[in-house]
A and B are shown apart, each in its own frame.
Chain A
Amino acid sequence: MTIQLMMDGREVIAENGQTLLDVTQRYGIVIPTICFHPATTPNALCRICVVEVEGQRLLQPACIVRAAANMKVQTRSERVMRARRTILEMLAATVDLSEAPDILAMIDEYQADPQRFPEAHPRYVPIKDDNPMYVRDYSKCVLCWRCVQVCAEDAQYTYAINFSGRGYETQIGTFFDQPIPETTCVFCGQCVGVCPTGALKPKREALLEQGLMPEQIVRLNTGRRRRT
C-alpha cells in the first residue's frame, strides 16, 4: 500500500512502513545522518536528522519516524536548521572530527562555526593501542553506539565492549578498562568497519600514518596476541 504526504511543500509517495528518511532518499531530498547505519538497530540518538512535522510539538528524527498519510514535513525549517547547526557546533567543541569527513562536510553545509563555544571542555582521551588489530582513539569518538551494537546483538554476540561513565563523560569501554586482548573480543573487525570517525582504525593503517614501513609493521605484530 502507498501513502501520500507533503514534504517541503511537495507531494511525495511512500510505501507503508517506510521512515521519513527512506522517503527522502527516493526524492533526492538530503537529510543528514550520523548514528544511522543500515546494519544496526536504529537508536535515533544523534538527532541530526530531525525534521519538523506539522502538529508535533517537538522535532522528529527522520531515521525512525514512519511516514503517515497526509503528514506535512519540513526538512529545512528554521528550527530544524538551528538544531542541526547547534548540534554540529557542540560536536566540534567536544570531539576531534579531523577524520570524520561526512561530519566535516555537514559543518560546511550548515555553516556551523566549529569555534562557536569558547572555553568548551573537549572529551580528550589518550590513544589506546593494546592489540595487534586495531587502535582506539576515543578523542575522535562521537558515541554513535555502532561498535557496541555490532559487538553485541546486531552482529557478533561477543559483548567485548560497552559504556563507561554517563552523560558528557560517557565513553566506550571494556570490563574495568581491561586491554582488548583480555576481553571476549574475537577480532572480527566489525566495529572498525562501522566506525564513522576514525576512532577505531586498523592497526596497519594507523602505523602507516605514523610513517612506518609495511615490513616494520609485520615485525611489530608478531607474537603479541595474548588471549588466554
Chain B
Amino acid sequence: MSEIDMRSLWKAIEGYIPLGRSGLLPALHAAQGLYGWISEPVAEEIARALKVPLADVHGVIEFYSLFYNRPAGRRVVHVCVDPACALCGSERLVDDLCAQYGVTPGQVSADGEITIERSPCLGLCEHAPAVWTTGGDRWWIGAPGSERTFPPSVVYGSVRWLTVHCGNGTADLARYGPYRGLEKAYQMTPQAVIAEVKASGLMGRGGAAFPTGVKWEGAARAEGWPKYVVCNTDESEPGTFKDRVLLLDDPHGVIEGMCIAAYAIGASRGYFYVRGEYPYLVPILEKALAEARAAGYLGNGFDVEIRLGAGAYICGEETALFESIEGKRGFPRVKPPFPTTHGLFGKPTVINNVETLRNVPIILERGAAAYRSLGTEKSPGTKLFCLSGDVGRPGLYEAPFGITLRELLEMAGGVDGKLQAVLLGGAAGAFATADHLDVRLTFEDLRAAGLPLGSGVVMVFNDQRDLRRALLRLAEFFAHESCGKCYPCQMGTQRQVEILKRLVNGRWRPKDRQRLQDVGWTMTDASLCGLGQTAASAVLSAMALWPEWFE
C-alpha cells in the first residue's frame, strides 16, 4: 500500500475515528468504496485508527456478505435467486450473465471488470427478476449498463393512510407538511402520548406483533441514560419490500414517528439501520433529516444518524442489529435482558419497524379512537401487503386489517393461472392454500388458522410451480443467513438443505421424513433467536399440507 493510497484511506475514514468501534462498519464501507475490496493492510490501518483488535476487524469483515476481503470485480452484479425472483427466471438470468461475461458465479472476470453473484432477496420482489449492481461506492438497479439508481414504487390500496404520499417520488417536507402529530404530542405529557399509542392498539409490524405502547412504556420507565430510538430498516425477509417504498417516498412520515417515540421515552439519539442492499435510501434519508433539522424537529435534544448494514439478514433481529451498530459481528444476544432496559450500547432502547413508526403520527394526529375506525378490535388500522409471484399486479398494497386473502388477491389482479399456494409471512412464514382464501387477514384470524402475518408477504404460486424447489431455496436462504452462534440453527439449517436436496433430486430416503421433522422441531424449539426458531416453519407447514410429497 503506497503512501498516497493510505492518505486517501485516512481521508475517507477520518470522520469515523471519534466513533471508535461503532465506526467500524462505516469505515469498512468507506474503504471498500475506495478500493472495491478490503485488503490486509487496509484492514490493519482501520483497526489501528479505530483501536479495534485485528482479529475482531477480520471477524467483522468475514461476517457480512457485502464486505470482500479478496478482490472482487469492479462491478459486482447481485442477482436475486429467492423464490419470487426464481419464479421469474432468475437462475436463467444468472447463467446468461455468466455466459455473457465468461465467468462462473462468484468468480472475477479475467479483466477484473465483473463478478456475478447469486444473492438473497434484494427487496425488489415486485420487479422480479431483481438485479442490483455495485461498483465501489456506486450502485445501479439492474444489470451493468442500467442508469437507474433507485427502484420505482408500485403502490395500490383500498385506503391510503400509510401510503398517502407514496407512488409519486419522494415527498419533501413541503409536500409532507408540518409534523402535526408531533406538535400534538408536545402538548401532551410523555405518559399521555404512550397512553394514546396503547389505546390505539398498534402492534409492531416487524413480524413479532408486539404492542408498541407497551414497549415504549418499558423504555420510558427504564433507568439509564442516554436512551435510544432505533428504526429497524433492515428489511430482508424474502418477499418484503414495504419499508423500502415507505422510506423512498415518504421519509418524513417515519422520522416524525421517531420524534414522537423519542419524546415519549425521553430519548436523545436515534438511528436508522438500513440494510446494505438499500444504499439508495441513504441520500433520501440524509436530505429528509436535514429538512427536519432546519424546521427544528430534530437537533434540539433529539437527533438521528444513519447506519448502513452490509449483507446479513440476521441483523434485522433487534439485538444483532445493536451489535452491528456497535461495530461487531451480528450475533443475537440472549434475552432477557430486553432492549427496553438493555438495548443499544446497553442502554434503554425502543426499536420499531419502519411501518410501525409510520403509523404513529397518524395515531397522534387523529387520535386513537379515529385510528380504530379501520381494522378490527384486535388488529386496528391498516396493513401493508407485499404481493409478488404469480399475481396480476405485483406491488405494495394497503388495506384495512380484516380484508380476506381472496379480496386482496382480486385487488392485485387475481392469480396468474390456477392457485396452488400462497406463502404468507416470507421465508419465516407458512403456506396457505385455496382453502384459506376466506381467512380474514388479521393477527387474530391468522393465528387461529395457524398462519403467520409476519412482515406482510403474500407470495403467490400457481399450480405449474414446483414448490419443493421453493422449499429448497428457502432452506438455502436460512443456511446462508444463519449467524452460526447456536447449535440447532447453525447445523440444522445445513442438515435441512442436505435433506431437501434429496427431495428435489428424487433421491429421497425412507427415513428422511422423520429426519427433516426432528431437525425442524429442534430448530424451532431450541434455537437462540427468531431466525432458527422459524427456519423450518415453511417446511413444516408444507409437510402438514402435502404429506404425500415426503413419503
Among B14-55, those with CB < 8 Å from A are 40, 43-44, 53-55
Given contacts A64-B334, A82-B522, A117-B515, is CB(A47)–CB(B487) below 8 Å?
A: yes
Report if B59 contacts A (CB, 8 A). yes
Among B321-366, those with CB < 8 Å from A are 329, 334
Complexed CA–CA distance, A34 and B486 (Å): 12
Complexed CA–CA distance, A176 and B68 (Å): 12
Report A155-176 CB contacts with B as 1/0, cut-off 8 Å: 0000111111111111001111
Chain B interface residue bracket vs A: 35 or more
Within the complex, the shortest CB–CB distance from A184 to chain B, in Å, comes to 7
Are A164 and B62 in contact, CB atoms less than 8 angstroms apart? yes
Q: A169 to chain B: which residues have CB within 8 Å?
A: 484
Complexed CA–CA distance, A121 and B495 (Å): 9
Of A34, A50, A167, which is within 8 A of B481 by CB?
Answer: A167
Q: A143 to chain B: which residues have CB within 8 Å?
A: 484, 487, 490
Q: B485 to chain A: which residues have CB within 8 Å?
A: 43, 45
Q: B493 to chain A: which residues have CB within 8 Å?
A: 167-168
Within the complex, the shortest CB–CB distance from B206 to chain A, in Å, comes to 18
Report if A86 contacts B (CB, 8 A). yes
Complexed CA–CA distance, A174 and B43 (Å): 13
Within the complex, the shortest CB–CB distance from A120 to chain B, in Å, comes to 6
Are B525 and A45 in contact, CB atoms less than 8 angstroms apart? no
Report if B492 contacts A (CB, 8 A). yes
Complexed CA–CA distance, A143 and B53 (Å): 20
Among B514-536, those with CB < 8 Å from A are 515, 518-519, 521-522, 524-528, 533
Report if B452 contacts A (CB, 8 A). no
Q: B526 to chain A: which residues have CB within 8 Å?
A: 47, 50, 58-59, 83, 87
Report if B182 contacts A (CB, 8 A). no
Are A175 and B54 in contact, CB atoms less than 8 angstroms apart? yes
Residue of B nearest to A52 (CB): B525
Of B480, B484, B492, B527, which is within 8 A of A170 by CB?
Answer: B484
Are A167 and B522 in contact, CB atoms less than 8 angstroms apart? no
Complexed CA–CA distance, A43 and B479 (Å): 21
Are B484 and A83 in contact, CB atoms less than 8 angstroms apart? no
Q: A133 to chain B: which residues have CB within 8 Å?
A: none
Given contacts A82-B521, A91-B491, A168-B491, is CB(A183)–CB(B528) below 8 Å?
A: no
Are A47 and B528 in contact, CB atoms less than 8 angstroms apart? yes
Among A41-56, those with CB < 8 Å from B are 43-48, 50
Given contacts A44-B528, A82-B522, A87-B487, is CB(A168)–CB(B54) below 8 Å?
A: no
Are A166 and B55 in contact, CB atoms less than 8 angstroms apart? no
Report if B58 contacts A (CB, 8 A). yes
Of B483, B490, B525, which is within 8 A of A58 by CB?
Answer: B525
Report if B551 contacts A (CB, 8 A). no
Q: A43 to chain B: which residues have CB within 8 Å?
A: 334, 485
Are B491 and A183 in contact, CB atoms less than 8 angstroms apart? no
Total interface residues in chain A, CB < 8 Å? 48
Report if A118 contacts B (CB, 8 A). yes
Cβ-Cβ contact count across A and B, 8 Å cutoff = 149
Given contacts A44-B334, A121-B494, is CB(A162)–CB(B487) below 8 Å?
A: no
Are B55 and A168 in contact, CB atoms less than 8 angstroms apart? no
Q: B462 to chain A: which residues have CB within 8 Å?
A: none
Q: B509 to chain A: which residues have CB within 8 Å?
A: 118
Main secondary structure of the interface of B (DSSP, over half): helix
Are B525 and A50 in contact, CB atoms less than 8 angstroms apart? yes
Complexed CA–CA distance, A124 and B354 (Å): 42
Residue of B nearest to A60 (CB): B526
Report if B137 contacts A (CB, 8 A). no
Of B498, B502, B521, B527, which is within 8 A of A47 by CB?
Answer: B527
Given contacts A86-B522, A163-B59, is CB(A45)–CB(B69) below 8 Å?
A: no
Are B487 and A48 in contact, CB atoms less than 8 angstroms apart? yes
Among A76-96, those with CB < 8 Å from B are 79, 82-83, 85-87, 90-91, 93-94
Given contacts A91-B491, A121-B494, is CB(A167)–CB(B59) below 8 Å?
A: no
Complexed CA–CA distance, A176 and B60 (Å): 12
Of A59, A93, A159, A166, which is within 8 A of B53 by CB?
Answer: A159
Complexed CA–CA distance, A128 and B539 (Å): 39
Complexed CA–CA distance, A43 and B498 (Å): 28
Are A45 and B528 in contact, CB atoms less than 8 angstroms apart? yes
Given contacts A87-B526, A175-B54, is CB(A94)–CB(B62) below 8 Å?
A: no
Of A83, A173, A176, which is within 8 A of B488 by CB?
Answer: A83
Report B486-508 CB contacts with A as 1/0, cut-off 8 Å: 11101111110010001000000
Report if A116 contacts B (CB, 8 A). yes
Complexed CA–CA distance, A47 and B53 (Å): 29
Report B469-482 CB contacts with A as 1/0, cut-off 8 Å: 00000000001111
Q: B62 to chain A: which residues have CB within 8 Å?
A: 163-166, 173
Complexed CA–CA distance, A161 and B522 (Å): 30
Report if A119 contacts B (CB, 8 A). yes
Within the complex, the shortest CB–CB distance from B516 to chain A, in Å, comes to 11
Complexed CA–CA distance, A106 and B488 (Å): 16
Report if B63 contacts A (CB, 8 A). yes
Given contacts A43-B485, A83-B526, is CB(A176)–CB(B69) below 8 Å?
A: yes
Complexed CA–CA distance, A151 and B522 (Å): 31
Within the complex, the shortest CB–CB distance from B285 to chain A, in Å, comes to 27
A-B contact pairs, 8 of them (CB 8 A): A44-B334, A58-B526, A82-B518, A90-B492, A162-B59, A163-B59, A175-B54, A176-B69
List the interface of chain B (C-beta within 8 A of A). Answer: 40, 43-44, 53-59, 62-63, 69, 312, 329, 334, 479-488, 490-495, 498, 502, 509, 515, 518-519, 521-522, 524-528, 533
Q: Which 5 A-B pairs have the closest CB atoms?
A: A159-B53, A162-B59, A170-B484, A162-B55, A175-B54
